[in-house]
Structure formats: structure tokens, C-alpha cells
Amino acid sequence: MRYIKDMTKYEGLNGWERISLSDWVRNITNKYSDRIAIVDSQREVTYRELDREIDEIAYGLYKLGIAPKDKVIVQIPNRLSFVITLFAVIRIGAIPILALPAYRETEIEGIIKVASPKAYIVAEKYMGFDYLPMAKRIKEESSSLEFLIVDGERGGDYLIKDIIISGREVMDSGNGSEDFFTKSDGYDTGVLLLSGGTTGVPKLIPRTHTDYLYNGRMSALKCRADSNSVYLAALPIAHNFPLCCPGIIGILDVGGKVVLASNTTPDEILNLISEEKVTITALVPAMLNLCLEMSEWDEDIDISSLEILQVGGAMLEESLAQKVIDSWSDCKLMQVFGTAEGLLCFTDLSDDDEVVVNCQGKPISEADEVKIVDSDLKEVPRGEFGELLSRGPYTIPGYFNADEVNRISFTEDGFYRTGDRAMWTEEGNIRMGGRIKEQINRAGEKITPSEVEALLCQNERIKEAVVVGVPDEELGFRSCSFILSEDGEEFEREEIYHFLKNKGLAGYKIPDQVENIDVWPLTSVGKIDKKQLVKLAQNVFE
């Protein structure tokens, strides 16, 4: 018998509200009406305008025939249309699946297989990539997709801008009303987030309206965010971190302003902090490194408005944490350990620098149940490393439509197995210590080696391939593939790059380094010795 999560047991928690995210948007609109809600590189909208634009697309999507509970893939980069489309899908009672702009055929087709979505809403172009040919191919191959909707000027079956016009007609005719859409219950699935690590089939994370709002609210509380807060969404907003930790949702909940960075370059990030007087932002360590460097030599950059810098998604080296504290002394560093599955740990704004440098803080909710266990799932003493497990108000009890994976990733009693090594410190904080389950954390994006290995082995000339994570100064870890060829001929990285790109794999999963090998180094029990491979990969550069 699988564990069933009882949401009612969390009723009474401060910040817990049984409400749909659509009704929540109505509430914040009534509260903060003419304040600026969101700014992107093109324009800004007030809360009231945001709500109205959500309605326009929602009526348009409804007229098209998208029904409650239908799944809709949303693949749009950091711009206003992402936020408006996301909440429009939610408003009609449908369920958005948040896809990263970096996803290609492999990832999108994987999502389709698991979730049978009815619509795919995709940006026309971003960062030089034309999504249309890919999206059309995907739609042709899929039996579930009925609508290809494009955020842009051309292509697909429908354009967002035409859907807006059609939605406006409903509203102008006076036929639109509050009862038009089917209301979702706060305990229904509100969004499907994507898990970083996939093993062939992507893992979809069903977050309920209520738990996701709670996630954003508790995060905002920990950051002491209020209506004067200006949040910069610097990471891709399909990620949980910038979307809801506190991110867009947590900041809008307190009436603050959200600024969307259209790309993740240090130039864009630092200039927006200066221009928009940003008070809080979230970065991964690899981006932080570049931003620190740039702020040192560019004198026009003024980051004096920045009060809180959240850093998470991957291990933050102590030396880099110390560098932030020394160089950006007016702002508070907050370490964030987070997962899209739920659990969030933040260091506290009142913690001493030494604590902030050395750990990833405490769970953000009093109702979080966090355990650190050995391989028999028994708790280990404080100060010892084990696997981090979590259950609680906003942590999922299982992935969507994935019984087999759930048996491995969750305990019988409903704890999520993060696959991360962690320990409790003296002060009761958690300190992370790398991965237990195989996964490469490349600048915050997660790669599962077996997914890449399986694709590589589809190459006729490849007999065996092993992918490992190699410590890297800039990326945290880079990925390196070792190749044993069928014919003894060596592979260049170029060839591997094109092969995997043609297979439709997201760019960040393509190995940064390619090495050829004749004989595998083996462990004493005869398995491929991956530690040895990592050393080999490092030695090439020494």
C-alpha cells in the first residue's frame, strides 16, 4: 500500500491556504491593483493589467477547446508572456507543464510520453534557436497533441496574439464572468514541474495549488520580503528557484515587483540590478562567480540596492561564499538548498557569516520532516553524513504517472529520497556533501549519465560509453564522456556534439569533454571504475 498524503493535516499552518492559484491571482490583484507587478525587457504591467491579460488568454484558450485537467506544455523563456500564459492555463483549470527553453526533442517527447498533453505552447525563437521546425515535428509524431500555439509572429496552428484577440472578444461582449471557468480545488495539481535528473523518461513533479503557494509564501517570509521588494528573476523561470522560492510567486504574494532578466549573462544581471534597484535575486554558484568578477572591474555597476543574494542549486564553495561576503558587504548572502520536489532549506538572515559560509540552513517550514539516514534508512548521528530524506506540507509524495520510479525515489512512508549526501551541523543546520545517486550538477542543471550514455550507444561506431562528472572551476562539474569505439577509430568532441544535437538532446547535457578509451579501468569487483575515469579526465588538462 503506497503512502497517501493527507493535505488536511497541514491546515492551520501560517501561510497554508486552500485556494487555487487562479483565485490567488484575483486576490493579489484586489490587494495591490495599480502597483507594478512585473517588468520585462519590453514593458511593465500592474497587478490589474496582469490579471486582465491572463483573462484574455484564458478565454481564448477556453474557446479553442482546452478543457479542465488537460495538460499543456509551456516552453517560453523569461518574458511576460511566460507568466501570463502560465496563469491563463491554470485559470481554465488545465495543468501547465513547465519546460526549460533548453529542452529539445528528446526532453519534450519524453514529457509527451508520460503526460499526453493536449497543447504545446512554445516561443518562436530564443537565443538563436528556431523552435518551430522542432515543435512541428513533435506535433506530427504525437497522437495526444491537438494544438501547437506559438508565442511569436508566425507558425504553429495558432499564435498567442490571435488567442488574445479571440479572448478579448468574449470579454468585450460581456459574456465573460467569474463563473466561466471551472474552479480548481487548492488540493488539485496546479503545476507540473520537471525534475532535473531523468533516466530516459522525464520525471514530472505534481505540485498542488496550495502547497506551491505555501512554498512561495514561506520563502518570502524567510527573506522578509514585502511590497518594497524588487526581485530579479535571473535564472530560467521554468525552474522552481526563480518561480517560487520566493521568486515570482512569493514576491507577487507580498505586493512586490518582479523584474525578468531575458538571459543569464552577468552583464544583463548586473545591469538590471543597477537600473531596477533590485533588492533580492537568486543565482547558482557558477553564475555568481562570473557576476563577482564582472562587478570587480566594471565601475558603472551599482549593486548597492541589493539586500539579499540567494545562492543555491549546486554546492557553493566556502571560498566563493566568503568572497561574496567580503566583496558585496552591503548585501546578505543566503544559502539555499532546494529541490523541485519540495524541500527547501535556507540559511537565516540573522545567522553569523561563519554559519552562512559553511552550511545550507534549515527547512523553511516547521512542518517539514527531514531525516538523514544510512543505507538501511536508519537515522545517522549529528555530524555524520547520510542520505537526506524529506516529507512535509510542500514535498510531493510521488512523481506523476511513474509507479516504478516512485518505488525507488520514495520510502514506504512517503519520504522523498533526495539522493543527496548531507549531515546535521552543531547548530542544527544541514550541510550538503555531494551526491549519492548518480547525477551530474553542471552549473545547477542536473544531468543523469545513463540518459546520455544510452543515446551515445545508439551511434553505430560506439561500443560502450560512460559519462562522468569532473570537478570544474567554472561549472562546478563538467561532463566527460569516455568512449570505447567499435572499430578502434577515435572520436572527436565535435562529432559527439553533432551526434547528440541531432538526437535532439538539450545542449547542457552534451558532454563538455570527450575521451577515447581502449580498456576500462575496473574496480576490485570488476565494475567500471568511475573514480578512475574522473582522474583520467582531470589529468588530460594537467
342 in contact with ligand OOB (CB under 6 A): no
Q: What sign for the dihedral angle of Cα 83, 88, 89, 94? A: positive
> What would the x/- binding string for ligand OOB be over residues 239 to 278, using CB under 6 A?
-xx---x---------------------------------
Stretch in the footprint of ligand OOB (CB under 6 A) among 43-51, 130-138, 339-347, 520-528: 339-347
> What stretches of 131-188 adopt beta strand conformation (E)?
147-151, 158-159
Quick check: helix, strand or coil at residue 489?
Answer: coil
Binding residues among 367-426 for ligand OOB as defined by CB under 6 A: 418, 420
- The count of chain residues that interact with ligand OOB, using the rule CB under 6 A, is 23
Enumerate residues 6+ apart whose C-beta is below 8 A from 340: 193, 194, 195, 196, 205, 239, 240
Name the one residue in this structure whose C-alpha cell is 531523468.
Answer: 198
Q: Write the DSSP string, 304-335.
A: TT--EEEEESSPPPHHHHHHHHHHSTTSEEEE
Closest CB to ligand OOB among residues 29, 390 = 390
Q: In the set 84, 303, 432, 510, which binds ligand OOB (CB under 6 A)? A: 432
Quick check: helix, strand or coil at residue 31?
Answer: helix
Give the cell for residue 201.
523518461
Nearest to 282 by CA among 260, 252, 254, 300: 260
Closest CB to ligand OOB among residues 29, 360 = 360
222 in contact with ligand OOB (CB under 6 A): no
Is the peptide bond prior to 236 cis by the omega test (within 30 degrees of 0)?
no
Interatomic CA distance for residues 315 and 194, integer angstroms: 20
Shortest distance, position 498 Cβ to ligand OOB, whole Å: 27
Closest CB to ligand OOB among residues 432, 500 = 432
Q: In the set 83, 314, 333, 462, which binds ligand OOB (CB under 6 A)? A: 314
Give the cell for residue 234.
535571473
Stretch in the footprint of ligand OOB (CB under 6 A) among 85-93, 127-135, 238-246, 508-516: 238-246
Which residue sits closest to ligand OOB, CB atoms considered? 338
Q: In the set 340, 455, 456, 496, which binds ligand OOB (CB under 6 A)? A: 340
440 in contact with ligand OOB (CB under 6 A): no
Shortest distance, position 315 Cβ to ligand OOB, whole Å: 4
Closest CB to ligand OOB among residues 156, 197 = 197
- Which is it for strands 119-123 and 147-151: parallel, antiparallel or unpaired? parallel
Alpha carbon 517 to chain centroid, angstroms: 35
338 in contact with ligand OOB (CB under 6 A): yes
20 in contact with ligand OOB (CB under 6 A): no
Q: Which residues bind ligand OOB (CB under 6 A)?
A: 195-196, 240-241, 245, 312-315, 335-340, 344, 360, 418, 420, 432, 435, 441, 446
